[in-house]
Amino acid sequence: MAKGSTMAAAVLALLGIAPWAVYVGGLAKMTDVLTGFHWDRALEQIEIMLEWYIVSAQFVNLIIIAVVGFAGGLHRAHSLLNMFLAVNATLLILRATERVQQITSVADGQPLFADTTIKALVALDGNPLPYLRAIAAGQIASATWNFFLAIAVGYGGTDTLPMQSDAPPKGATMA
């Protein structure tokens, strides 16, 4: 049976879907605009492939933590899951930093010179700020959530388990 701290980590993983949903909503809108609403052209957009990897990895990690947590197996997988959380949080922070710079440049009316994605978004949509802000908010919230979730997973995974001994049960007689 799973302990309370393991269950808490699993519930926190499920609650982590909320910031993930904000991120995926903004990213889906940006992908729609860049592909001209033709999803068969989505693979041509190499600028956003890393974004889709990050959003997919975040979702998979949240689901795995929830399943393992509810099954009471965090004591076996907490190190792996925390490393995956750390890698994804690093990628989220990296992309969020870039996204905030893009938002600032678009708001100032001067998109960054080398940023072809933002130039294309401005040309296609006129005002990409709402979904760029949604992406940045989702990335920042997901990275922050990963920090707290890593603490919960670490605590739930290292919580003491009842020890089973090879010694005979008390009251048993030895022959």
Q: Is 114 helix (H, G, I), strand (E, B) or coil?
A: coil
Residues 116-146 pLDDT 10s: 777 777 777 778 888 889 999 999 999 999 9
Other CB atoms within 10 Å distance of the CB of residue 139: 31
Q: Let me know: does 99 contact 143? Beta carbons within 8 Å.
A: no
Q: What is the mean pLDDT of residues 107-121?
A: 74
Task: Spell out the alpha helix ranges (H) of the chain.
Answer: 4-15, 17-35, 49-71, 74-107, 116-125, 129-158
Domain boundaries, the chain: 4-158
Note the pTM of the prediction, 2 decimals: 0.80
Does residue 96 surpass a pLDDT of 90? yes
pLDDT digits (tens, 9 = 90+) for 63-94: 999 999 898 888 888 889 999 999 999 999 99
Are the beta carbons of 27 and 135 closer than 8 angstroms? yes
Closest CA to 125 of 31, 23, 22, 41: 31
